[in-house]
Amino acid sequence: MRKQNVSGAVIRRLPRYYRHLNELNQAGVVRISSSALGKSMGLTASQIRQDLSCFGEFGQQGYGYNVDNLLNEIVDILGMNRGHTAVILGVGNLGRALIENFNFGWSGFHLNAAFDVRPEVVGQIMAGTPIFHIDQLENYLREHPASVGVLTVPRSIAEEMADRLVKSGVKGIWNFTNTELNIREEGIFIENVHFSDSLQTLSYLISEDA
């Protein structure tokens, strides 16, 4: 049974568990010890056991973890088997790249639709995803509720678009606009993606090592 108040650090390690277990499963590995799993992930065995204990007891002493079973447990914990859906707002370079190249299904989401204002893209079907005019957003979400809205719009309209998503029942926002959204409503979750943060972190690391 899932415990309350799981730390953010543990939650952010769960996708890493999924990736590693998925690779092990595809390689035909049947079972793995906490020490072996920790070594492959750069964690200690005790950290592995502590993280997983937040959600239940999955391993057996002297046996370790059944890879397939633990993978399915992680899928369930992450909610990847709950039929989540997404829509993208903004079909510029980044929006188009996500539609054409990002595997939403691998993360447990189905990309239902995208929205834009430009006549040259509205009405198209891009990599199986229909593109509608942004004026149709509310009507579309009324008939096809979405779990997450992906924001790849200009910064100047990010807040407005986020508000429209929230008012239409969207609970999660994947924000690529490089601006902080001022949304404080209960039950609304925002994941901000700043590409520059990762590059600047690398800048620090290579500068310190020089």
Is residue 92 annotated as involved in ligand binding?
Answer: yes
Determine whether the annotation assigns residue 91 to a binding site. yes
The model's pLDDT over 143-159, given as tens digits with 9 standing for 90+, comes to 999 999 999 999 999 99
pTM of the model: 0.89
Q: Which amino acid is at 202?
A: L
Q: Which has more confidence, 167 or 205? A: 167
128 φψ region: left (φ > 0), alpha (ψ -120 to 50), beta (else): left
pLDDT tens sequence across 55-94: 988 877 767 899 999 999 999 999 999 999 999 999 999 9
> With contact defined as beta carbons under 8 Å apart, do 51 and 77 qualify?
no
DSSP string, 110-150: EEEEEEE--TTTTT-EETTEEEEEGGGHHHHHHHS--SEEE
Is 42 among the annotated ligand-binding positions? Answer: no
Domains of the chain: 8-76 (1.10.10.10), 84-197 (3.40.50.720)
Residue 205 marked as a ligand binder:
no
Residue 64 among known ligand-binding residues: no
User: Phi and psi (nearest 5°) for 100?
Assistant: -85, -25
- Mean pLDDT across the chain: 93
Q: Is 93 annotated as a binding residue?
A: yes
